[in-house]
């Protein structure tokens, strides 16, 4: 008998009808004799709806209260799913994050899980019940409700699987696995049978929202067997695995990720003296703005241009800080650009192949797409381009790295 944690995302519980379908699916597993813990998201659109409500009161709602409110989305779906299970004869019980005691730090809207008390869940399983747990939420030491960041139900699922020492964590969603790139953007994207934790971590952090990055971190750290599957279609899904297979067919690139959530800031004509980077990025960091890519160019007249990217939500804040810095340092000008996108190719195969970056640049050049910034690591190359070329770039790279599905196989 296995212990399985199954997480169902927003679209999979998006209506009463779907919740009943999920209940029927859970029943099938349970009838085989497995112990099941189910984690659910809020109904699709609900978290956005709640955030919009809060924004009608204040552009920057108090984070503690925002968490009290957005956590209600998941409280509705756990109860509905438990009811649906009971209706079809499956003993079930629902728990909020604080009732389980999913203990987190106090960083409202982006809290981290510190500890999970698994006692109560084990007790319920022993009594023969399916336990339905609210995703995305926890409670801090002082008893405040916290949430784990957008997409955080994935992390609840994986963290519960780790705490319960489950045999597998299954992430059920509206696609049938992890694809070479977002199948909604590239019709020829292909489902991957397997992807390594390391690659999945890069994909998630570079913009593939199919799994929340912290869920992948958790799964890697605690060796949780993790699989992404379609909620309502049969199929093997995608296994996130530790082993890097050395097969002849190992592609150089496993996937392409992209992200429209960044903005670019440039400060031009800064006197080029030691400590420039610190003088610019110190205040940015003090303003709690995280910087992603950085490029510095030195001009002939002993000045330097310094460009970096930040999350689009932080753009106005960063721009204000940078304008202050420019005045203090006597810089020529500050330029901001929100119409950018980041495209990244990811693959452990890059370690053993040279020329991957130039192949990427060639593919973009052929489409006349200008590269504004570049950053590389051992298993990824990222570029910043103009946002309007994003889809074209992703498709061109998908073809250039031979990831396209054979004719007729794509979605």
CA 54/CA 402 separation, integer angstroms: 46
Report the nearest approach of ligand ASP to the CB of residue 200 (Å).
Answer: 16
Compute the least distance from the CB of residue 394 to ligand ASP, in Å. Answer: 24
Strand pairing category for 238-241 and 226-230: antiparallel
Which of 80, 75, 77, 79 has its CA nearest to residue 98?
75
Please report whether residue 61 would count as binding ligand ASP according to CB under 6 A. Answer: no
Residue number with CB closer to ligand ASP (151 or 255)? 151
Q: Does 97 bind ligand ASP (CB under 6 A)?
A: no
CA-to-CA separations, 222 to 16, 148, 179, 210, 300, in angstroms, rounded: 34, 19, 24, 20, 52
Contacting positions for ligand ADP (CB under 6 A)? 9-12, 41, 151, 173-175, 178-179, 181-184, 208-210, 255
Stretch of 59-67, 126-134, 148-156, 369-377 lying at the interface with ligand ASP (CB under 6 A)? 148-156
In a 3-state reduction of DSSP, which class is residue 342?
strand
Return the closest-CA partner of residue 68 out of 137, 142, 117: 137
Cβ 203 vs Cβ 212: under 8 Å: no
CB of 208 to ligand ADP, least distance (A): 4
Report in angstroms how near the CB of residue 146 gets to ligand ADP at its nearest. Answer: 19
Least Å distance between CB 171 and Mg ion? 8
Which of 398, 15, 5, 402 has the alpha carbon at shortest distance from 225? Answer: 5
Tell me whether residue 134 or residue 385 sits nearer to ligand ASP (CB atom).
134
**Helical packing angle, 213-221 and 153-164, nearest 10°:** 10
Taking CB under 5 A as the rule, which mask of x and - marks residues 111-150 in contact with Mg ion? ----------------------------------------
Residue 47 near ligand ASP by CB under 6 A: yes
151 binds Mg ion (CB under 5 A): yes
CB atoms inside a 10 Å sphere around CB 106: 14
Binding-site ranges for ligand ASP (CB under 6 A) = 9-10, 41-42, 47, 73, 135-136, 150-154
């Amino acid at each position: 008998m296995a212990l399985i944690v199954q997480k169902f995302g927003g679209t999979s519980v998006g209506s009463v009808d779907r919740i009943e379908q999920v209940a029927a699916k859970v029943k099938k597993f349970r009838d085989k004799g497995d112990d099941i813990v189910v984690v659910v998201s809020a109904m699709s659109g609900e978290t956005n709806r709640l955030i919009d409500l809060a924004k009608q009161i204040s552009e920057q709602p108090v984070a503690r209260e925002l968490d009290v409110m957005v956590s209600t989305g998941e409280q509705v779906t756990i109860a509905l799913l438990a009811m649906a299970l009971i209706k079809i004869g499956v003993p079930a019980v629902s728990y909020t994050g604080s009732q389980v005691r999913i203990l987190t730090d106090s960083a409202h809207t982006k809290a981290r899980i510190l500890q999970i008390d698994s006692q109560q869940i084990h007790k319920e399983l022993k009594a023969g019940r399916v336990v339905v747990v609210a995703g995305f939420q926890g409670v801090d030491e002082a008893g405040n409700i916290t949430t784990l960041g957008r997409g955080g139900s994935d992390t609840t699922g994986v963290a519960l699987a780790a705490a319960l020492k489950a045999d597998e964590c299954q992430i059920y969603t509206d696609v049938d696995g992890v694809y070479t790139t977002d199948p909604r953007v590239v019709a020829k994207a292909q489902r991957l049978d397997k992807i390594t934790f390391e690659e999945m971590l890069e994909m998630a952090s570079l913009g593939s929202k199919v799994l929340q990055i912290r869920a992948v971190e958790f799964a890697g750290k605690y060796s949780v067997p993790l699989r992404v599957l379609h909620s309502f279609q049969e199929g093997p899904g995608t296994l996130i695995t530790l082993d890097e297979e050395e097969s002849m067919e190992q592609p150089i690139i496993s996937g392409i990720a992209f992200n429209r959530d960044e903005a670019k800031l440039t400060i031009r004509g800064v006197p080029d003296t030691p400590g420039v980077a610190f003088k610019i990025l110190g205040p940015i960091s003090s303003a709690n703005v995280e910087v992603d890519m950085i490029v510095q160019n030195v001009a002939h007249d002993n000045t330097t241009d310094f460009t970096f990217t930040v999350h689009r939500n932080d753009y106005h804040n960063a721009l204000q800080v940078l304008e202050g810095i420019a005045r203090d340092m006597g810089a020529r000008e500050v330029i901001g650009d929100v119409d950018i996108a980041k495209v990244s190719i990811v693959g452990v195969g890059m370690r053993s192949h040279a020329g991957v970056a130039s192949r990427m640049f060639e593919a973009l050049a052929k489409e006349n797409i200008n590269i504004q910034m570049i950053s590389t690591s051992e298993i990824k190359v990222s570029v910043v381009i103009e946002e309007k070329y994003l889809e074209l770039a992703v498709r061109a790279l998908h073809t250039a790295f031979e990831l396209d599905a054979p004719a007729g196989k794509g979605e």
